[in-house]
Structure 1
Amino acid sequence: MSEREYDVIVIGAGAVGENIAERTVQGGMSTVIVEAELVGGECSYWACMPSKALLRSASALRAAQDVDGAKQAIRGGLDITGVLRRRDRITHDWDDASQVRWLKKTGIDLVRGHAEFTGVKRVRVTAEDGTVTDLIARHAVAVATGSVALLPDIPGLREIEPWTSRDATSAQTIPASLAILGGGVVGAEMATAYAGFGTKVTLIVRSRLLPKLEPFAAELVEASLRGLGVTVRAGVAVTAAHRTDRNAVLALSDGGRVVAEQVLVAVGRTPRTGDLGLGSIGFSPGAWLAVDDTLLVKGTDWLYAVGDVNHRALLTHQGKYQARAAGDVIAVRAKGGPVDDVPWGAHVATADHDHIPQVTFTDPEIASVGLTEAAARAAGRRIRVLDYDLSWVAGASTYADSYEGRARAIVDEDRGVLIGATFAGANVAELLHSATVAIVGEVPIDRLWHAVPSYPTLSEVWLRWLEEYGRPAPL
């Protein structure tokens, strides 16, 4: 057994942990990062990157098939071997050597193994070969262990050994049929991807598809999925599961059943804190870790929880945003300074409240930020809703011969600013950051008239929203 002391210990070397460690090192603090799997974490190897790689090829093919002059050149269907080869290249064949080199270059120490708290500011790491290293933090420990797929307590479900999102994104063979439990982002994206491979997909949804999005966006995605051959079973739940020699059989709450070669469970996430030894520092194993806006775990002055594990916003980009804030705050507090001394002012994770941007990479894409109409009304805001058919924007006709999409803006009438935006359609992901800037920056509607969109692009929807809202006040 060996013992080492650092200013900061970071548990979890995914994108979130890497960003915390980078900021603390830049703040002059010695930092060690602990990882039990691959440096780069979930997003690099089992989530964001491989899932988008699986989606892209079929999406590009469908886009070409909707452009006259290009569709005539298409002579065959999707090459699944090529899709998987490209996915493997993007994940570096699940090899983290380049990420490890980055840690070394940045000045971050790495200890591989399973981390477990043994006391305040004390972490024991057990490597695969049984080697034990005790780490002591002089100032802070940051937990960035993320989340794992939730497996609901359905009779027989564990016994059929269903896929989680990790299995779906790293699969080396494609099943002939796939049943997906859950109509959230993971379920919708994987239904899109596997339908593109020619898999017979059945999507089982307890309520409605993509329930956190504007209803019109979910309706467009559902229509598209059905057009791709996906069977959407909404308003039903799986009550039991068993496996035959060849297939899994799912019993449904309406008395029906679904038979599929493979089952993917995508009904939610649970924190990866069950085996961290939280009991030794006064917290419940397996719990989400509640934090304030500086990412400090409530009730402590040394423990930070960043990314999925704090349950504020289960998105990689929000986790990285939190990580930058946490790393800077840790460095400033270690030097005895107030949070207001953090670079760029009091940098705390306030965007996690109402300003969260997200892209759902279905076909069509859904890009959203801020409040939906329902959420704004529930919050008691006096709003005006601006809707526009994206196919009426001149730029849409340059993308496809049959472009279909919609855009909605939510205006706070009392303040004259946008508080929400949703785009649905091909290539709308790149519209999202402009909406995020307008909402976070609280840009007055009257000023937006002077942010001129380029022609002919989809961005012209901003002008159409303004025209619907009305002319600006005289200067």
Structure 2
Amino acid sequence: MTEAIAYDVVVLGAGPVGENVADRARAGGLSAAIVESELVGGECSYWACMPSKALLRPVIARADARRVPGLRQSVQGDLDAAAVLAHRDDYTSHWKDDGQVGWIESIGVDLYRGHGRLDGPRTVTVTAEDGTRTTLTARHAVAVCTGTRAALPDLPGLAEVKPWTSREATSADHVPGRLIVVGGGVVATEMATAWQALGSRVTVLVRGGGLLERMEPFAGELVADALREAGAEIRTGVSVRAVVREGGTVTATLDDGTTLDADEILFATGRAPRTDDIGLETVGLEPGSWLSVDDSLRVQGSQWLYAVGDANHRALLTHQGKYQARIAGAAITARASGVPLLETDRWGAHAATADHDAVPQVVFTDPEAASAGLTLAEAEAAGRRVRAVDYDLANVAGSGLYADGYTGRARMIVDLDREVLLGVTFVGPGVGELIHSATIAIAGEVPIDRLWHAVPAYPTVSEVWLRLLETYRG
């Protein structure tokens, strides 16, 4: 029997979250190993954030240019789809992880290639592709950073259809003539935006009443209007009952009995945790489950197991996962050093408070939709006494300079008892770059009276802050 190799911290998953946990552990003076069965860099680098935004950037740039007088005439042609796909390939490093592996090595973390499974407390067994097994033990912590995978509906014969998930949608090497997109969330709207602009005839099928239903209602409405104007068809209140593929054609049967043909079908219907085959049962946890954690990202009831990023279901966003990784790394290091955690310090180094109060998100559609904190519905459901303040972004001086016919909307949610912001939503061209100011205001609990003295530069779209505050003051 091979002797186990001991580390202070063992990390399952070498995506951005796992990389950051390992990095923070090493920065705190701990030894660390990281285990990865696929590409180092994870979902974000190869099948999510980077390739999707590489596909969308030319789409958004062309749309913005077409709204500028004197420039629109120069950008009336079609996108060069081959060049866009090649640019996407460059951003994914052509699905090679040499650079990421080099970074792991540069910070002094040992990388183990293979499938990692818990094998009892503080123990991980790694099975390499050639079947060899290595046992790792953790003196202080094992961090589960295995992320999520696409959740597919239970439809007969779906596997034989070979549907697209987010992975295929971001890595496809051709533009399908007809594309069905099932879902109305972030992946669905971004991929509908990208592929419609690249030349597909897109039909979006939404089970609910509209797009982006976790954001303020106007966000989904404005994005839907733009998709329709671009040529996409959006059907709401429908579900797919069956799917078959004959030759190169996919036929979807809807719950009303109608059928729809396409060359490809993308299911963007949610995410599931990649925790089904990591040995959770060996430590008394349910395989395939989301892992419940405290604010230091330690799994409830455990003294050594952490779940960081998507696996804990707190906020399925890369930037929040990396934030959690910094918190977890600090907590693991503090506990290993015998330093007491200031768990009562809500905004301290060991508490992932922003997961509750100040989560930012940008949907890179045209127009962009960006939010931080709570929506009006969420704030009211939480029992807060609030007021929603709305403003038409078209009436901000900077928006008219940004684009002819600028269409957009802003909303801030004010806690009337404390006079601070609980949430902000912007929808419109370029608003993704506004959202960090909202995140700072929410996380910093900046009083409204203090925000009044944060003067936005003129003439910029950020002048909307002044207009929102003026509207609130009346």
Scaled by the length of structure 2, the TM-score of the pair is 0.97
Structure 2 residue aligned with 1:339, among 335, 338, 341? Answer: 341
Query: Which residue identity does 1:423 align to in structure 2?
Result: F
Contact 1:296 1:302 in 2 (8 A): yes
- Determine the C-alpha separation between the residues in 2 that align with 1:162 and 1:53: 22
- Which deviates the most, 57-66 or 388-397? 57-66
Give the 3-state SS of the residue equivalent to 1:447 in structure 2.
helix
Range with greater deviation from structure 2 (65-74 or 182-191): 65-74
Which residue of structure 2 aligns with residue 248 of structure 1? 250
- Deviation of the 1:204 alpha carbon: 0.7
**1:219-258 Cα shifts (integer Å, max 9, x gaps):** 0000011111111110010111111222111111122221
Q: Is the 8 A contact 1:359 1:367 kept in 2?
A: yes
Distance 2:28 2:263 in 1: 52
Counterparts of 2:3 and 2:82, CA distance in 1: 46
Deviations 1:177-209 (A, max 9, x none): 111111111001000000011101111100021
Q: Is the 8 A contact 1:2 1:132 kept in 2?
A: no
Distance 1:75 1:253, change over 3 A: closer
* Secondary structure of 1:301 counterpart: coil
Supply the distance in 2 between the matched residues of 1:351 and 1:363 (Cα, whole angstroms): 27
Separation in 1, partners of 2:403, 2:349? 45
8 A contact 2:5–2:136 mirrored in 1: yes
1:97-137 C-alpha deviation (Å, 9 max, x unpaired): 11111111111111111001111111110111212111011
Q: Any runs of at least 4 consecutive aligned residues in structure 1 with deviations exceeding 4 A, and if so which?
A: none
Task: Give, in angstroms, the shift of residue 75 of structure 1.
Answer: 5.9
Q: Match for residue 204 of structure 2?
A: 203
- Of 371, 374, 380, the residue aligned with 1:371 is 374
The percent identity for this pair of structures is 60
Q: Summarize the Cα distance change of 1:35–1:2 in structure 2 as closer, same or farther, 3 Å threshold.
A: farther
Q: Take 2:147 and 2:118, find their aligned partners in 1: how far apart are those partners?
A: 16
Q: CA deviation at 1:392?
A: 0.7
Deviations 1:126-162 (CA, angstroms, capped at 9, x unpaired): 1112121110111110000000000110223222110
Match of 1:153 in 2: 154
Q: Which residue of 1 aligns with 2:51?
A: 50
2:4 alignment partner AA: E
For the 8 Å contact 2:357–2:442, the answer to whether it is kept is: no
Contact 2:66 2:76 in 1 (8 A): no
The 1-side partners of 2:419 and 2:287 are apart by 46
**Kept in 1: contact 2:330–2:349 (CA 8 A):** no
Q: Contact between 2:54 and 2:91, CA under 8 Å: does it hold in 1? A: yes
Aligned alpha-carbon RMSD (Å): 1.3
After the TM superposition, which residues 143-222 of structure 1 pair with which residues of structure 2 at under 5 Å, given as runs? Answer: 143-207=144-208, 208-222=210-224
Give the whole-Å Cα distance in 2 for the aligned partners of 1:21 and 1:319: 13
Give the aligned partner of residue 233 of structure 1. 235
Residue 276 (structure 1) aligns with: 278
In the TM superposition, what are the counterparts of 1:96-135 in structure 2 within 5 Å? 96-135=97-136
Find the counterpart in structure 1 of residue 421 from structure 2: 418
Distance 1:269 1:174 in 2: 25
Out of 82-91 and 244-253, give the one that drifted further: 244-253
The residue number in structure 2 matching 1:353 is 356
What is the rounded CA distance, in whole Å, between the counterparts of 2:200 and 2:301 in structure 1?
Answer: 49
Alignment-mate amino acid for residue 212 of structure 1: R
- Check whether the contact 2:181–2:205 (CA below 8 A) recurs between aligned residues: yes
Q: What is the number of equivalent residue pairs in this alignment?
A: 470
Q: Which residue of 2 is the match for residue 90 of structure 1? A: 91
Partner of 2:225: 223
d(CA) in 1 for partners of 2:199 and 2:405?
23
Q: SS at 2:470's partner residue?
A: helix
Within a 5 Å distance, the mapping from 1:256-335 to structure 2 comes to 256-335=258-337
User: What letter is aligned with 1:362?
Assistant: T
Residues 155, 239 of structure 1: 8 Å contact kept: no
Q: CA deviation at 1:357?
A: 0.6
Residues 364 and 463 from structure 1, CA distance in 2 versus in 1: closer, same or farther, beyond 3 angstroms?
Answer: same
Question: Structure 1: how far apart are the matches of 2:76 and 2:391?
Answer: 36
For the residues of structure 2 that align with 1:139 and 1:40, how far apart are their CA atoms? 24
The farther-off stretch of 151-160 and 46-55 is 151-160
Q: Distance in 1 between matches of 2:46 and 2:271?
A: 17
Q: Which amino acid aligns with 1:13?
A: A
8 Å Cα contact 2:150/2:270 also seen in 1: yes
> Is 1:401–2:404 an aligned residue pair?
yes
Provide the secondary structure at the position in 2 that maps to 1:340: coil
Which position in structure 2 is the counterpart of 1:381?
384
Unaligned 5+ runs, structure 2: none
Q: Secondary structure at the match of 1:339?
A: coil
Secondary structure of the equivalent of 1:241? strand
Amino acid paired to 2:405: S
Alignment correspondent of 1:29: 30
What TM-score do the two structures reach when normalised by structure 1? Answer: 0.97
